[in-house]
Chains A and B, each alone.
Chain A
Amino acid sequence: MMKTYKDLDPVLHSQLRLAIVSLLMNVKEARFSFIKEKTGATAGNLSVQIKKLKDAGYIDVRKRFKKNYPETLCRITGRGQVKFEQYVKAIEKYLKPGKS
């Protein structure tokens, strides 16, 4: 039977969104193409998940033009960092249920 993790942040408790946020935790800013390469996601799916993270205020997205082509850059927000840390603490609780 699949265990449910009700107190885990639903925004982060998804494979691709957690991967995006984890990747952005260690960088100042990353290009869309880099995130796509490292997560192995399709461009369409990645765009949808990035928008969800942006709408939740977890990441900032900016666009710029490079040689007449638009380029998307993402960076984690302060809220995103806090939410990620809370998520890690929450999963630690599941791994060590005795500790508060």
Chain B
Amino acid sequence: METEKNISNIEESLEIINKMIFTAKVNIKGGSFYFLFWGWLIILISLGVFSLEKFTNMMNSEVLWSLTFVGVIVSGIYGYKKEKKEKFTTYTGNIYMWVWLGFLIVVAGLIFIIIYDKAYTLIGPVILLLAGYATLLSGIIIKFKPLIIGALFMWTLGITAFFIHNEYALIVEAFAVLCGYLIPGYMLKNKKDDENI
């Protein structure tokens, strides 16, 4: 476009607006990393703790859950690097980010309260219910139904896990993460670029 070139007619104005206004689209596939990373991490930890409790005499097998702190650091570094590379940022991306940061803050607070109160069996179900809520919002924000359906599974299985008072609750939790994170995560990863919003 040449310097200070005025618009000759209204149709030209409309053409410029139409061409430019929807140029910047949110790459919704980019969010699949977090669902896949956290999906695999939680499933492996759940099955790891289950195996240790079921097949060994190891005490404090729950210590494996501390790996989630590593997960938070990895996610933070990935998000920071990705943001630096982005050519543009969108309000949709911003809301999406705050949904999950808010989730992280609430979960940290709840874990502290639950551990303080020694109500350890609540941790899994409560996190699943909250993760389901954040997953539902993500699905609505990026208009992606598998995440919304996944959220419903997380809620249902979160309640189910609450009523199972033994190590099998971990299997239910792993299954919830498979339905809520991994399956929608892979579907999101394989989505076509022209379906970006």
Closest CB of chain A to B1's CB: distance in Å?
4
Which of B87-95, B111-119, B153-161 contacts the other chain? B87-95
CA distance A72 to B89 in the complex (A): 13
**Contact between B1 and A22, CB atoms less than 8 A apart:** no
CB of B70 closer than 8 Å to a CB of A: no
**Contact between B13 and A91, CB atoms less than 8 A apart:** yes
Residues of A within 8 A of B4 (CB): 14, 16, 49
CA distance A13 to B10 in the complex (A): 10
**Contact between A29 and B17, CB atoms less than 8 A apart:** no
Residues of A within 8 A of B60 (CB): none
CB contact list, B1-33 vs A, under 8 A: 1-10, 12-14, 16-17, 19-24
Residues of A contacting B: mostly:
helix
Residues of B within 8 A of A19 (CB): 1, 16, 19-20
Q: With A15-B16, A19-B16, A30-B88 as given contacts, are A2 and B8 in contact (CB-CB < 8 Å)?
A: yes
**Contact between B1 and A30, CB atoms less than 8 A apart:** no
Among candidates A16, A38, A45, A66, residue contacting B23 with C-beta atoms closer than 8 Å: A38
Residues of A within 8 A of B1 (CB): 15-16, 19, 39-41, 45
Q: What per-residue 1/0 map shows which CB atoms of B85-128 lie under 8 Å from chain A?
A: 00111110110000000000000000000000000000000000
**Contact between A22 and B21, CB atoms less than 8 A apart:** yes
Q: With A19-B16, A22-B16, A34-B88 as given contacts, are A14 and B23 in contact (CB-CB < 8 Å)?
A: no
CB of B82 closer than 8 Å to a CB of A: no
CA distance A92 to B89 in the complex (A): 29
CB of A62 closer than 8 Å to a CB of B: no
**Contact between B90 and A15, CB atoms less than 8 A apart:** no
CB of B165 closer than 8 Å to a CB of A: no
Q: With A13-B13, A15-B1, A91-B13 as given contacts, are A30 and B6 in contact (CB-CB < 8 Å)?
A: no
- Contacts from B to A (Cβ < 8 Å): 1-10, 12-14, 16-17, 19-24, 84, 87-91, 93-94
What would 25 A/B residue contacts be, using CB atoms closer than 8 Å?
Answer: A13-B13, A15-B6, A18-B7, A18-B17, A22-B16, A22-B17, A22-B20, A22-B21, A23-B21, A23-B24, A26-B22, A27-B90, A29-B88, A29-B89, A30-B24, A34-B24, A38-B20, A45-B1, A45-B2, A49-B4, A66-B84, A91-B13, A91-B14, A94-B10, A95-B14
